[in-house]
Amino acid sequence: MKSFLIISILTLFIPFSALSQLDNDVRFSDLPPDSTYGKCYAKCKTPDTYETFTRKVLVEDSYVKTTTIPATYQTIDKQVMVSEGGINYKKIPATFKTITEKVLVEPEKKEVTIIPAKYETHTRKVLVKEETGHWVKKKKDPNCFSKNPEDCLIVCYEKIPAQYKNESYEVLVTPEKTVEKIIPAVYTTVSKQVIDQPEKTQEIPFDPVYKTVKEKVMVSPERIKEETIPAVYKKVKEKRLTKKGGYTVWTEILCADQTSSSTVRKLQRALRAEGYSIGVVDGVLGTRTQTALKQFQINNNLPVGNLNIATLNALNVNY
């Protein structure tokens, strides 16, 4: 439940001595924001908030329980050897057969014949001396206008033709080649005795002899079984602080002389119109009305915990 600190501003000024007295109380370390005559403000004390949680508490530690499980046996039939098996040996002589086969008398051979190359004789011109030129002195030439032929020195460069001779040469018509002739091998047929089946030793095994006897055998050996017995817990409920209580900021409220039963009835009707259960409209700010008022304030993000002006305005209640 919240407690309320209410200050009525009856005058425009607070005496210095009264202010000093308020300052001594941490709840009044600040003053309401407005010092208008006839306005009232309240701080709501919010209690510490706790939550209940469940915690597991160890009652008994876990431990290992050891149990010895004895070995188990069963009787079975067992085959026991009376005499060992073995192998007897039997000698089987070789057998022969007559065969014919070809025997080489003269091996295959080669005869090689060389056929000489063939040539033809041809004739061709062969250059003996290449074409050249030389200067030749000329007598009077029409280009010289003097009567004395010696007055004009005329020389001309004349060609000396190339000189050739004929020579004979041979041209290969068919190259030399080698011809090989294969003379096949010569064989004769002969008969002879050969082994058909070689001599061998045959193994003749014989089985061992058994008899059946009873025998006690272990099915499972003795063993130690370990079982972990889990720890035992119990659940206990505890409370822990989730939010430290304190005082809200100053909120303008309806002063006591204005909180008439008529105003409370208007408030109750407005809350009922909003869908909240307030019980009887009796003009009394009882528990059900306070609960409905607080829920309306929470749902509409209004100051919570008193009959403040913001809430009355939200409900359109005249005061």
pLDDT in tens, 225-241: 888 999 898 888 888 88
In the prediction, which pLDDT does 245 show?
65
Using a cut of 0.85, tell me whether the model's pTM lies above it.
no
Q: What is the pLDDT of residues 76-88, one digit of tens each?
A: 888 888 888 788 8
Which of 234, 128, 113 has the alpha carbon at shortest distance from 181? Answer: 113
In the prediction, which pLDDT does 185 show?
83
pLDDT above 60: residue 178 = yes
In the prediction, which pLDDT does 95 show?
87
- At residue 211, the 3 state secondary structure works out as strand
296 HSE (CA, 13 A, CB side): 26
pLDDT above 80: residue 191 = yes
Identify the bridge partners of residue 247 per DSSP, sorted by sequence position: 45
- At residue 24, the 3 state secondary structure works out as coil
Task: Tell me what the mean pLDDT of segment 138-147 comes to.
Answer: 53
Q: What is the mean pLDDT of the chain?
A: 79
**Gap between the Cα atoms of 264 and 288, Å rounded:** 13
Sequence-ordered alpha helix ranges (H) in the chain: 16-23, 261-273, 287-299, 309-314
Pairing of strands 3-9, 209-220: unpaired
Could you tell me which residue, 282 or 178, shows the higher pLDDT?
A: 282
- At residue 139, the 3 state secondary structure works out as coil
pLDDT above 60: residue 162 = yes
pLDDT above 60: residue 60 = yes
In the prediction, which pLDDT does 270 show?
95
Minimum mean pLDDT among 127-141, 173-187, 302-316: which range? 127-141
pLDDT above 70: residue 220 = yes
Q: Give all domains of the chain, ordered by start, each with its CATH number.
A: 1-62+236-253 (no CATH), 109-180 (no CATH), 256-319 (1.10.101)
**Gap between the Cα atoms of 159 and 136, Å rounded:** 10
Percent of the chain topping pLDDT 90: 15
Q: What is the pLDDT of residues 20-53, one digit of tens each?
A: 344 445 455 677 776 777 778 887 666 667 788 8
Contact 96, 195 (CB under 8 A): yes
- H or E element that contains 77: strand 72-83
pLDDT above 70: residue 259 = yes
Percent of the chain topping pLDDT 70: 80
Task: Tell me what the mean pLDDT of segment 281-301 comes to.
Answer: 93
Contact 70, 224 (CB under 8 A): no
Q: What is the pLDDT of residues 298-307, one digit of tens each?
A: 999 998 888 8
